[in-house]
Amino acid sequence: MNGTTDNDDDGWEVVAPKQKRRNNRKKDIPPPPVATYIPPPTTTTTLFEPYLLLLVGLQGSGKSTFASYLQTSMPWKYVRINQDTLGNRSACEELTRSTLLNLKEPRIPIIDRCNVNSEQRRSFLNIAQKEFKIPVDCIVFQYNLETCVGRCKQRGNNHETLRPGEERQAVERMADLWNPPSLSKNVTDVVLRQGKRGRDNVEIFRSVRYVSSFEMVDQLLKEYLKIE
């Protein structure tokens, strides 16, 4: 995956190769941030305009941590829709629709699944844009494969679908399908992807954001937790 490295050397060039390998094994991943509940503002008007937040990334790239943080902080605004928990894509689609149909308690669905190519993203874009006429924000978690494999291994038995010893195979299988939306400075991002049968797949996003560091994730969390 071109351009997916997370600070390839990160200062390691001054360290002897053997020492580099030893240090790399000992380098721990920071624990996930602790979310704090943020109460809704006291207002009788609509709190926010509806949209769909679509996450893209390999297993272990931090999607679920990000989505869980938003939902825990603002459960009155965000709903995490996670395929590992729900079991399959159809269940995710059903919960997305029911969330958007609930006009009494409107909330923003966060699609927390790999969504690595246009095939995997298409149904959720159709639900948002064709069925409900709402925009889609996309966040791409772009970390290198080794980082994602390492994070998956740290989970041990604490994962719904990945069993110990299968982490690398699962992440590599998803990495082979990696085809994220392109980064655009435009407000509306139109992405053309060549389909298997030679047809172009068109994806339209209100915004596409790439994150590849904890600092970038923290900045996005602050942005999405801001109360207007």
The pLDDT score that the predictor gives to residue 158 is 62
Residue 7 has pLDDT above 50, yes or no: no
Question: Does residue 152 sit within a domain?
Answer: yes
For the segment 188-192, the average pLDDT, to the nearest whole number, is: 46
For the chain, what is the mean pLDDT?
A: 81
In a domain, 218, yes or no: yes
Helix (H, G, I), strand (E, B) or coil at 127: helix
What does the CA dihedral 142, 147, 152, 155 come to, rounded to 10 degrees?
A: -120
58-110: pLDDT as tens digits:
999 999 999 999 999 999 999 999 999 999 999 999 999 999 999 889 999 99
pLDDT band at 1 (very low <50, low <70, confident <90, very high): very low
Q: Is residue 38 part of a domain?
A: no
Task: Tell me the average pLDDT across 100-121.
Answer: 95
Which CATH number fits the domain that encloses residue 169? 3.40.50.300
Q: What is the model's pLDDT at position 34?
A: 83
Q: Reply yes or no on whether the pLDDT at 161 is more than 60.
A: yes
Domain of residue 196, residue span: 52-225
- In-domain check, residue 1: no
Query: Has residue 108 been placed in a domain?
Result: yes
Report CA torsion sign: 49, 141, 2, 119.
negative
Across 206-220, average pLDDT: 94
Q: How confident is the model at residue 164 (pLDDT cuts 50, 70, 90)?
A: confident
**Does residue 47 belong to any structural domain of this protein?**
no
Residue 100 located in a structural domain: yes
pLDDT surpassing 90 at residue 202: no
pLDDT of residue 35: 87
Rounded CA separation 71/53 (Å): 12
Mean pLDDT of 151-175: 81
* Percent of the chain with pLDDT strictly greater than 90: 60
Cβ atoms of 202 and 192 closer than 8 Å? yes
Total domain count, the chain: 1
Residue 19: is its pLDDT beyond 60? no
In a domain, residue 151? The reply is yes
**pLDDT confidence of 21, banded at 50, 70, 90?**
very low
214-224 and 63-73 are packed helices; what angle lies between their axes, rounded to 10 degrees? Answer: 30
| Mean pLDDT of the 175-203 span | 62
